[in-house]
Amino acid sequence: MERYQQADPEAPAALIAALSPALLRFFRSQAASRAQADDLLQETWLRIHRVRHTYRTGEPVLPWVYAIARRARIDGYRKLRRIASHETAVDVLPEKAPASGAGKVLPAFETLVASLPEAQREVITLLKVGGLSLEEVARATSSSVGAVKQKAHRAYGKLRRLLAADETMEGAQ
């Protein structure tokens, strides 16, 4: 580890070769799958690389490495729990509901957006067509993020009203 801190080019490979089997066994004994254990091992080595300067020369390496590995395992578990709490397992995908207005044609994007004021049109186009984030649109338009949000909100409202009016007109025909 001391050689690794001193930027010896062979030190990382030697350290990884010496400790990876034991770390992989540690993760395999607690992870649900081999893939998760491999991911945790890789995350541990990334963390070790980032914090190698915190290792104190002369101290035992294994407790320091296993402390990092333990934190990587805990963080990995928390991440999986977060993801699982937002996902819903479905055995059979539901069939697509038949469209009430089968064959209904929506107006083209350009047609809808053309009815918006220039500032709102610009924001919607940058957000939806350009795929920019709110911050990027704010920088591109020399305005604040709040102003971009407001323009987008107003544009969405107007577009909803236009689409609702279009549906009402089709229903009346």
**Cα–Cα distance measured from residue 125 to residue 152, given in angstroms and rounded to the nearest whole number:** 10
Q: Is 152 helix (H, G, I), strand (E, B) or coil?
A: helix
Q: Each residue of 116-135: b (16+ CB within 10 Å) or e?
A: beebbbbbbbbbeeeebebe
CATH class for domain 109-172?
A: mainly alpha
Contact, 152 vs 124, CB < 8 A? Answer: yes
In the chain, ranges of CATH 1.10.10.10 domains: 109-172
**Cα–Cα distance measured from residue 53 to residue 33, given in angstroms and rounded to the nearest whole number:** 32
Matching residue, tokens 């990334």: 46
Residue by residue, pLDDT tens for the chain (173 residues) are 888 888 889 999 999 999 999 898 888 877 668 888 899 999 999 999 999 989 888 888 888 899 999 999 889 888 888 887 777 766 676 676 555 555 566 777 778 888 899 899 889 888 887 888 899 889 888 899 999 999 999 999 999 998 888 777 666 55
**Cα–Cα distance measured from residue 98 to residue 111, given in angstroms and rounded to the nearest whole number:** 26
In the chain, which ranges are continuous DSSP H helix?
2-5, 11-28, 34-50, 61-86, 109-114, 118-124, 134-141, 145-172
pLDDT of residue 76: 87
In the chain, ranges of CATH 1.10.1740.10 domains: 2-86
Q: What CATH architecture is 2-86? A: Orthogonal Bundle (1.10)
pLDDT of residue 103: 55
Q: Nearest to residue 113, comparing CAs of 101, 94, 104, 126?
A: 126
pLDDT of residue 152: 95
